[in-house]
Amino acid sequence: MSLPTDRARPNSKLGVILAESPQLVRVGMSLLIDSQPDMAIVLEAGHADEIAQGLPRVRIRRRLVAVIGLGLSGHRDAYWLIRTIRESIPNCPVIACGQNAAEAEISRALLVGADGYVNKDCGPLEFLEALRGGAVGEMVLAGVSGGLLGRIADGLDQPPPEQRVLTERELEVLSVATEGLTARQIGQRLGVRERTVTTHLGRIYRKLGAGSRVAAIAAAANSGLVTLGATA
């Protein structure tokens, strides 16, 4: 069993969390990333549990992006790890990575919290640019055909009910949002950054198939996820 590698690097670089099962593939990706002057591997492993155990050591970094191979082996799968990273480090963008993954696999990764998908058949430069784009909040879909991209987008508009489960923190954010507070005020109430709140709200909108806070609150209220009470 391989052990997770945790490397200290200056916080000025983009820290990359890499989860990939085939060791040869992981080493190649790691070497490519570490060769970039603006990037550094801060945590890598071949199993989801190993990455999860290492998250507390890297969550203090200001700039992070996670690359999660959809074919992870072990007791926990890639989708569990994506959700775990999303809950543990909400402001860490997550990029799913696969070898010509099926449409359903890509859609599922996005629904559980990934910010994008990169096909392993794409070139090294496209892969690196996908990481940089994901790190600044871009929705990344690299190496995906136009037709597949359209079907994935259509599928994300109406996620299946079983994929709409909100985390405890997302429910907490949504509950406070019903009071009409701004993202900054919600952050002050919950003791988190404004950017963290907006990240949570974005996930909530996607899961509930809503395009705005009002629509998300209405959908959540109709589903019994939150209670709308009278406010003074």
Helix 213-222 crosses helix 168-177 at what angle (to 10 degrees)?
Answer: 110
Q: Which two tokens stand for residue 232?
A: 């003074």
Provide the pLDDT for residue 52.
94
Beta carbons within 8 Å of 34's beta carbon, 6+ residues apart: 40, 41
Beta carbons within 8 Å of 167's beta carbon, 6+ residues apart: 83, 86, 87
In a domain, 228, yes or no: no
Do 89 and 150 share a domain, yes or no?
A: yes
pTM over 0.85: no
Which residue from 184, 162, 158, 160 is spatially nearest to 173, judged by alpha carbons? 184
Q: Which two tokens stand for residue 154?
A: 């259509």
Provide the pLDDT for residue 82.
92
Alpha helices in 76-182, H assignment, sequence order: 78-88, 103-111, 124-135, 146-157, 168-177
CATH of the domain at 127: 3.40.50.2300
Provide the pLDDT for residue 151.
58
Strand (E) or helix (H) holding 43: strand 39-45
CATH of the domain at 211: 1.10.10.10
In a domain, 230, yes or no: no
Which residue range is the domain that position 188 belongs to? 161-222
Q: Which residue in the block uniquely carries the two structure tokens 């198939």? A: 209
Provide the pLDDT for residue 146.
55
pLDDT in tens, the chain (232 residues): 444 554 444 467 999 999 999 999 999 999 999 999 999 999 999 999 999 999 998 877 678 999 999 999 778 999 999 989 988 887 888 999 998 888 788 888 887 788 889 999 889 999 999 999 888 877 778 877 655 555 555 555 444 544 457 888 888 898 888 887 888 889 899 998 888 888 888 888 877 777 667 777 777 777 777 776 544 3
Do 98 and 184 share a domain, yes or no?
A: no
Provide the pLDDT for residue 24.
93
Do 100 and 174 share a domain, yes or no?
A: no
In a domain, 26, yes or no: yes
The residue length of the chain stands at 232
* Cross-sheet strand order for the sheet of 5-6: 5-6, 39-45, 14-19, 64-69, 94-98, 116-119, 140-142
